[in-house]
Structure 1
């Protein structure tokens, strides 16, 4: 388990993480989303022990994570911009990792090299961004991490490799109880595989909940009217119009769905239907609720 206790991280006068408290249970896939500059990358680097907290602490499996070799050996972290030395290849990185990680799995390494179409003896810095990410993924998964932290990992990956990555994550979470945290602006990718979502804004926690629970609080409804309606037709209702074409509307509403539908049906629409909300739509609403983008 990961316990974030009163965590604060500053850079000069900028507070990147502000007194955050959160628990991340084992064997779960967490999506980490938030506004630009919300502290997502800083949080991942602090969880992985790269940054030392300025206040509070990160506790992993009951131990402080910073400068803790035992804990770091259980973690794998892939940064938004992975760093490789000029002469790094997958083959010589594997030699290094075999010495560092007690949980290094040689059989898994060979298997991963077969699943990702990448030359293991070529210099990684000469590869494309997507291929560099694949190299990082091979090394990370071969260590059999208990905790896997990934920052914007889907950026630069083609659809086939994204599918492969999702399969690997699900396999390790299901079979080995791995905990995975993925920071991403691509909420559709997060929505595909994440059990839980952590939302951040200005270094503070906005939400930490199941993705399905978060989406169930926000309802997308389409409705149409037989005649022209007043421009303020929904003025007495807590709904937001997200699209309108003539007499056809799609609105977002928060609250009890039965009460919402009762009020909307009182407007005598010719057609009305509830649609599933996406995580992206819910994210926009939650961020607007804390004043972002207004």
Structure 2
């Protein structure tokens, strides 16, 4: 398990990581999300021992370099990655270097994998191959995996737990299924214009917009309790629509003050 408690890291008086507390349990695949400059990479470097935190505590399964190198595993994974082992890394493409990093990392038989954009630049087939390998490592060897990525669709496929960072802080940290079960997209056509305003006081609204006679709400809370509040106003139309992790991320960031504006050309 990786455990951080009130970890702070500043560069020239600016906090890149600001009081982060989280736990990554053994065998889980954990997604670390956030806007550019949120502090994700700095947090990963603290976990990897590259940076030392200014304050707070961090505990993980640290060992010396390459103590568990497994040549048999390295040869076995060669059938997946098919890279020329004699070729220098700097002569490889970005995607090939990503593959080499995962190949070498898995060949060390790690207990913990810290991965920063691990499938960026890979083709769809190789992305799926690496996802399958990560699932296998977590399921069979109980490897603890923490992934930082902007590719939320891939995170949604891979991870069982996610955290969202903004300005150095964790603003949301939940089991992925719980996060999706707690956030809802509701499409409703009210009988009276004042009913939309009434909902502002009754439910926790992350986002609201009007599309003609139909209103769209992104709300947090128990699904049954939330929909019952809307049904009580006897609307013409009431639908609860599925939400992707990408949508939840956008609305959580908007609620945290991240400036998201429509583009008008």
Per-residue CA deviation, residues 251-292 of structure 1 (Å, 9 max, x unaligned), is: 322223233323433554454332222111221222222212
Unaligned runs of 5+ in 2: 261-265
Per-residue CA deviation, residues 153-173 of structure 1 (Å, 9 max, x unaligned), is: 221111111111111111011
Report whether the alignment pairs 1:251 with 2:213. no
- Tell me the distance in 2 between the aligned counterparts of 1:116 and 1:242: 47
Counterpart among 153, 159, 174 of residue 118 in structure 2: 153
Change (3 A) 1:275 1:18: same
Structure 2 partner of 1:65:
none
Structure 2 partner of 1:163:
128
Report whether the alignment pairs 1:274 with 2:218. no
Change (3 A) 1:253 1:175: same
Counterpart among 180, 186, 196 of residue 221 in structure 1: 186
Unaligned runs of 5+ in 1: 62-70, 74-99
Structure 2 partner of 1:130:
95
CA contact (8 A) 1:2 1:59 kept: yes
Structure 2 partner of 1:203:
168
Structure 2 partner of 1:77:
none
CA contact (8 A) 1:130 1:156 kept: yes
Q: How many Å apart are 1:7 and its aligned residue?
A: 1.3
Residue 199 of structure 2 aligns to a residue in which SS? coil
Bigger mean CA offset, 140-149 vs 117-126: 117-126
Q: How many Å apart are 1:234 and its aligned residue?
A: 2.1
- Tell me the distance in 2 between the aligned counterparts of 1:155 and 1:197: 19
Counterpart among 173, 176, 198 of residue 236 in structure 1: 198
CA contact (8 A) 1:9 1:54 kept: yes
- Tell me the distance in 1 between the aligned counterparts of 2:22 and 2:229: 37
**TM-score, structure 2 as length reference:** 0.87
- Tell me the distance in 2 between the aligned counterparts of 1:188 and 1:243: 27
Structure 1 partner of 2:59:
59
**TM-score, structure 1 as length reference:** 0.79
Q: How many Å apart are 1:50 and its aligned residue?
A: 0.7
